[in-house]
A = this chain, B = another copy of it.
């Protein structure tokens, strides 16, 4: 008799820790887990699909959403807004879907304030050298960008203590299983099953 509402999972980890790959496999395997779609004012690129990759909106629309208190969190990068609209998240949670919010480490604390029942998961690289190797193997960054990314990664790893759970990404498949394990265990928390006592006792 699990709770009917979905669980909100705040998910962070340094760049290169494999968050996107883990989420892709996780949602492919589990119909009841979805990733929240961000809203942005930056132009659509290449094959990107509105409502799948991002909600692509105008700056005016985004700023109205902020003013109306309808953004869970947002930030500006390179002159564009990026953020999470609250309504679709609440809709999914009410429909029993577990929603993953992939978010910057700094944004995670804010979400936990709005949703005290949220679970937070930090995806940890096996080691900093392993992370460096992954970033290098992408081959997309020069030496300076790379060492800046590693510096940021170390700062983020130091904030892992703010998260409830740590999943070590030694292997993608294990990390996906670990993530599922966290969600399944959280479903069994008494705090998410408060009606169970009266249901069991009155079930005649």
Which residue numbers of A lie inside 8 Å of B, CB to CB?
1, 122, 124-129, 154, 157-158, 160-161, 163-168, 178, 181-182, 184-186, 188-190, 193-194, 196-197, 199-201, 203-204
Chain B residues whose CB sits within 8 angstroms of the CB of A167 once the complex forms: 188
14 more contacts with CB within 8 A, not counting A157-B200, A182-B188, are A124-B196, A124-B200, A126-B200, A127-B199, A127-B203, A157-B197, A157-B201, A158-B201, A166-B189, A166-B190, A178-B184, A181-B188, A185-B185, A185-B186
**4 pairs of A and B residues whose beta carbons are closest in the complex:** A185-B185, A127-B203, A165-B188, A181-B184
Which of chain B's residues have a CB closer than 8 A to the CB of A128?
200-201, 203-204
Closest Cβ of chain B to A49, distance in Å, is: 34
Given contacts A181-B185, A182-B185, A186-B185, contact A200 B125 (CB under 8 A): yes
B129 touches A204 (CB 8 A): yes
CA gap between A160 and B199 in the complex, in Å = 13
Question: A203 contacts which of B129, B189, B199 (Cβ < 8 Å)?
Answer: B129
Known: A1-B168, A182-B185, A185-B165. A160 touches B203 (CB 8 A): no
Q: Across the two chains, which residue of chain B brings its CB closest to A129? A: B204
Note all chain B residues with C-beta closer than 8 A to A154: 201
Report Cα–Cα, A127/B178, bound state, in Å. 31
- A178 — which chain B residues lie within 8 A by C-beta? 184, 188
Bound CA–CA A117/B113 (angstroms):
24
Contact B125 A158 (CB under 8 A): no
Bound CA span A197–B181, Å: 22
Q: Which residue of the partner chain, among B122, B161, B190, B194, contacts A164 with CB atoms under 8 Å?
A: B190
